[in-house]
Structures are given as C-alpha cells and as structure tokens.
Amino acid sequence: MVSQKFRMAKYLGEIITELFRIILIIIMVYVASQVLKAILSGTWATENIIIAGMGVILAGMFVIVGFLIAQGRALGMLEERTKNIGESLSNLGRDFKEHLSKRSK
C-alpha cells in the first residue's frame, strides 16, 4: 500500500515537472516570437524585450536550481552510504585482526 502511494506521488511529481517544462518552452517560444516581431517591425519597446528576456532567464534558473538540489541530495546519500561502507570495512578489518591475534596466542 505504501509502495503504491509512493509510486503515485513520484508519478505526480514527474507530471508536474513535465508541465512546468512545457510551460517554460511555451513562454520561451512566445518571447522569441515577440523579439523577432520587435526586430522586424518594432512592436515592443526595448525595455519590454529586456524584461521578458530576464523573465526567461529567471525561469531557467528555477529549473537549474531544482536540478542542483536533486543532485546535491543524491550526492549526499551516496556520500553517506560510502562513509558507512568504509566504517563497516574498517570495523571488519579490526575484528579480523583481533581474531587472528587471539588465535596466534
């Protein structure tokens, strides 16, 4: 039951992520078309083009920050697992040395 809820939540998260990507692409296409109109026929003022460009850049930054947060979380989990494995191997080696020293005596 919990596994199914987890899969549904993960699937919902993927849908929301894809929805935001589609919205970002639509906004980028719209702004690009308006920039082309401004260049070819002068429909927008220069300030509006700059503001729209900064909006696209900010939207892209939110996507990048989300990606970096996910990567940092994955790297942290990997680092923690690696640290635990190293400690386990160290303890195993110490136990093995103690066992050998007891058998040698």
Asked if residues 31 and 53 have their Cβ atoms less than 8 Å apart, the reply is yes
- pTM, two decimal places: 0.39
Whose CA is closest to 27, among 1, 5, 44, 51?
Answer: 51
Which amino acid is present at 21? Answer: R
Q: What are the phi and psi torsion angles at 42 (to 5°)?
A: 75, 45
Q: How far apart are CA 22 and CA 68, in angstroms?
A: 20
Give the model's pLDDT for residue 61.
Answer: 79
Number of domains in the chain: 1
Compute the Cα dihedral for 88, 93, 96, 97 and give only its sign: negative
In this model, does residue 33 exceed pLDDT 60?
Answer: yes
Mean pLDDT across the stretch 60-68?
79
DSSP 42: -
The structure tokens listed for 80 are 């923690």
Region 54-67: mean pLDDT is 80
Residue 4 has what pLDDT? 64
* pLDDT over 70 (residue 3): no
Q: Which domain holds residue 19?
A: 2-104
Mean pLDDT, the chain, rounded, equals: 78
**Confidence class of residue 2 from pLDDT cuts 50, 70 and 90?**
low
The residue among 50 and 9 whose pLDDT is bigger is 50
